[in-house]
A and B are shown apart, each in its own frame.
Chain A
């Protein structure tokens, strides 16, 4: 009963380095999302996917790329990390067209860019 699993849980990057955050869900959910959480700003949507092979931009997509090659995985990439990308990143998924079941969230990845 894993739900949504995010790896890694913590990471420190130097400015300019790249990395990929992995989100895996075992619930056969169609819709997947990447959010970033910053103090006082709640969660802001970076990118999302409405199905395998599809991605779309959210509210704050700049500096990030995503891929959904398999239904169960949603990858978030940072090509050249910047200190402004220091944040906690959450992946979420849902299974209904209307989203009325709410989201299932992962436990987050805390990223620090120095």
Chain B
């Protein structure tokens, strides 16, 4: 069974600084990998996804993520954080089988200081 670990529960970053959120996954084959963002009181919005090809993927809102098979990681980055990036971020791994079930990490809450 697949699993996802997000080691950082909370991260505080200053506006304009860079951000990196860690994600480690466990899956027996090449996974589908996703990052979602959840603003307070809202559902989850897809930021970016990886399923094959270039290991550096670009997403919406200036985010990017890099798939590193050797480290079983899919870390999310943003070069310069805006106050509107304060939210909770979830990494997820997808099963390449009927059902397409996503397994989510516990989430990382990002606080942006002015």
Q: Interface residues of A toward B: which range?
A: 20 to 34
Q: Is A56 an interface residue (CB 8 A)?
A: yes
Please tell me which one of the listed residues A44, A58, A90, A101 contacts residue B43 in the complex, with CB atoms under 8 A apart: A90
Interface residues of A (CB under 8 A from B): 4, 31, 33, 35, 40-45, 48, 50, 56, 58, 90, 92, 94, 96-103, 105-108
* A102 surroundings in chain B (CB, below 8 A): 34, 36, 46, 49
Q: How far is the CB of A46 from chain B (nearest CB, A)?
A: 11
Q: Is B29 an interface residue (CB 8 A)?
A: no
Contact yes or no, B42 A107, CB < 8 A: yes
Interface residues contributed by chain B, number (CB under 8 Å): 28
Contact yes or no, A40 B106, CB < 8 A: yes
Taking A42-B107, A100-B49 as contacts, is the C-beta distance between A94 and B100 under 8 angstroms? yes
* B99 surroundings in chain A (CB, below 8 A): 31, 48, 50, 56
Q: How far is the CB of A30 from chain B (nearest CB, A)?
A: 9
Interface residues of B (CB under 8 A from A): 4, 6, 9, 32, 34, 36, 41-46, 49, 51, 90, 94-96, 98-107
What are 12 inter-chain pairs, A to B, with CB distance below 8 A?
A: A31-B100, A35-B104, A42-B6, A45-B103, A50-B98, A92-B102, A98-B51, A99-B101, A100-B51, A100-B94, A102-B34, A108-B41
Q: How far is the CB of B3 from chain A (nearest CB, A)?
A: 10
* B45 surroundings in chain A (CB, below 8 A): 105
* B95 surroundings in chain A (CB, below 8 A): 99
State the CA gap A56–B46 with chains docked (Å): 24
Contact yes or no, A41 B106, CB < 8 A: yes
Taking A97-B100, A98-B96, A99-B94 as contacts, is the C-beta distance between A106 and B43 under 8 angstroms? yes
